[in-house]
Structure 1
Amino acid sequence: MRQKRAKSYRKQLLVYHHTFKFREPYQVIVDDQIVTASNESSFDLTKGLERTLQAEVKVMSTQCCMQALYELGNQDAIYMAKQFERRRCNHNPKDPKTPIECIESIVDIKGENKHRYIVASQDVHIRRKLRRIPGVPLVHISRSVMVMEPLSDASARVSKRKEISKLYEGLNSSKKIKSKPAETKKEPEEEDKKPKQRGPRGPKGPNPLSMKKRKRETKKEVTNNKPKEEGNPNGRKRRRKHSSKSKSDSKEVDTEEKTSKAEVPESSLVED
């Protein structure tokens, strides 16, 4: 499959995904004609559908389509159709309907594709009828190549209307107003479930990275902080003087006295 075609198919599937809520794996209903065409051209139907839709696929067929294949008598086509999942159409097997009526009754439910089916059919009349229903992707084989039809006018109209409604929806839209009372009722229940706080939190401390580092105490400060000894206010120990120093001090005192006596005048001594 070419890149441009794959890109266009991806865009179409995104529209079906967002507007009509299609989900993987996609349910694909197959009619009797596409089964016979793929059998004649030896085309693998399931792989071709996965390649075009770029997703997982559930291939399904109805009892009325199987009855049409039995009437043709092509055993290879019947064997291929038996491998697919059977979708109940609730039609009487003794009085089966045509594939057009059967597929239309399954897909068209009150003007909507309720079960989100993708229809793979070679019949032009089936495709022409299903184009009137919005949200029905159509697939067919053209020259041994599986082709997905572009969006029909009905489905494009619905998607455009939905996009415009999304643009003009505001805060006071009807959907949001209805959902408000339900939210208010749920609030106390949610509060009860939450664990209660133990107590009020105090003020946060300063950032430790912004604070200055504490200075380490030097040796001098450590010595000054030591307790002082009793009897010494300065906290210093008294050192004992050496005996030699004391003797020298006493000699100096004696010499000073002698000199003082010698300096006294004789007249003062006579008067006395």
Structure 2
Amino acid sequence: MGKQKKTRQCATMKRRLSLRDQRLKEKDRLKPKKKEKKDPSTLKEREVPQHPSCLFYQYNTQLGPPYHILVDTNFINFSIKAKLDLVQSMMDCLYAKCIPCITDCVMAEIEKLGQKYRVALRIAKDPRFERLPCTHKGTYADDCLVQRVTQHKCYIVATVDRDLKRRIRKIPGVPIMYISNHRYNIERMPDDYGAPWF
């Protein structure tokens, strides 16, 4: 078999309409204006996000007993594995009354997990838990929790998820509750509230 002959193709240029073409309208015939170069000596204006007024002197004044704690899916699962009662362990951690809150997204996530996590679903349906309705589209719980916490600074977020913790740490004035050594601990809680630091 012989070698197949290939003809070399020259680089094809994009066809352009000339400015005198009949198909062009009057406004398109005008040549584009050149952008003005910015003076480097002028001050640059930046838009810095304004922190809410409740974070006066770096302390979140909206946080106080009874504490409202947003619970994540994996927090319930890890609590079951560590054999911890959610409400009682939260009260032991914060030395105050705690109201665990669960959003529709988290509830949907637990329901999606199926029969294996039926104990977690039963705990989530506990009447002591406050149910928060979601108005946004989709059921991705992490985005839902981050969005809710940025809007309202009155919540503590209970999670074991590293990525979610990293996202919440970027939001000022939101404490994080997590599990370590078979007990609940709190992170970034102001000292004024008497919360234990371990």
Same fold (TM over 0.5): yes
Aligned partner of 1:23 in structure 2 is 64
AA matched with 2:123? M
- Is it true that 1:91 corresponds to 2:154 in the alignment? no
- Is it true that 1:132 corresponds to 2:165 in the alignment? no
Out of 97, 103, 106, the residue aligned to residue 56 of structure 1 is: 97
Q: Return structure 1 stretches of 4+ with deviation > 3 angstroms.
A: 15-18
User: CA deviation digits over 1:64-96, x for unaligned, max 9?
Assistant: 11111111121110000111211122134xx42
Equivalent residues in 2 for 1:72-91 (5 A)?
72-73=113-114, 74-83=117-126, 84-91=129-136
Out of 130, 148, 171, the residue aligned to residue 106 of structure 1 is: 148
Report the alpha carbon displacement of residue 18 of structure 1 after superposing the two structures with TM. 8.6
Preserved contact between residue 16 and residue 135 of structure 1 (Cα < 8 Å): no
How far apart are the structure 2 equivalents of 1:38 and 1:26?
19
How far apart are the structure 2 equivalents of 1:46 and 1:17?
30
Preserved contact between residue 58 and residue 173 of structure 2 (Cα < 8 Å): no
How far apart are the structure 1 equivalents of 2:57 and 2:90?
17
Change (3 A) 1:16 1:103: farther
Change (3 A) 1:72 1:16: farther
Structure possessing the higher relative contact order (Cα contacts under 8 Å, 6 or more residues apart)? 2
Equivalent residues in 2 for 1:199-210 (5 A)?
none
Preserved contact between residue 77 and residue 120 of structure 2 (Cα < 8 Å): yes
Q: Larger deviation: 69-78 or 18-27? A: 18-27
Report the alpha carbon displacement of residue 16 of structure 1 after superposing the two structures with TM. 9.7
Equivalent residues in 2 for 1:171-186 (5 A)?
none
* Identity of matched residues, %: 30
Preserved contact between residue 17 and residue 23 of structure 1 (Cα < 8 Å): no
- For this pair of structures, how many residues does the alignment match? 132
Equivalent residues in 2 for 1:1-272 (5 A)?
19-21=59-61, 22-73=63-114, 74-83=117-126, 84-92=129-137, 95-96=138-139, 98-109=140-151, 114-150=152-188
Preserved contact between residue 120 and residue 139 of structure 1 (Cα < 8 Å): yes
Gaps of 5+ in 2: 1-54, 191-198
User: CA deviation digits over 1:123-169, x for unaligned, max 9?
Assistant: 11111111111110101011312111246xxx9xxxxxxxxxxxxxx
The structure that is helix-richer by fraction is 1
Change (3 A) 1:138 1:64: same
Preserved contact between residue 24 and residue 57 of structure 1 (Cα < 8 Å): yes
Q: Superposition RMSD on alpha carbons, in Å?
A: 2.5
Instruction: Specify the SS of the correspondent of 1:108.
Output: helix
Report the alpha carbon displacement of residue 54 of structure 1 after superposing the two structures with TM. 1.0
Instruction: Specify the SS of the correspondent of 2:68.
Output: strand
Preserved contact between residue 116 and residue 135 of structure 1 (Cα < 8 Å): no
Preserved contact between residue 60 and residue 153 of structure 2 (Cα < 8 Å): no
Q: Which has the larger radius of gyration?
A: 1
When normalised by structure 2's length, the TM-score is 0.61
Gaps of 5+ in 1: 1-14, 156-272
Preserved contact between residue 26 and residue 58 of structure 1 (Cα < 8 Å): yes
When normalised by structure 1's length, the TM-score is 0.45
Preserved contact between residue 174 and residue 188 of structure 2 (Cα < 8 Å): no
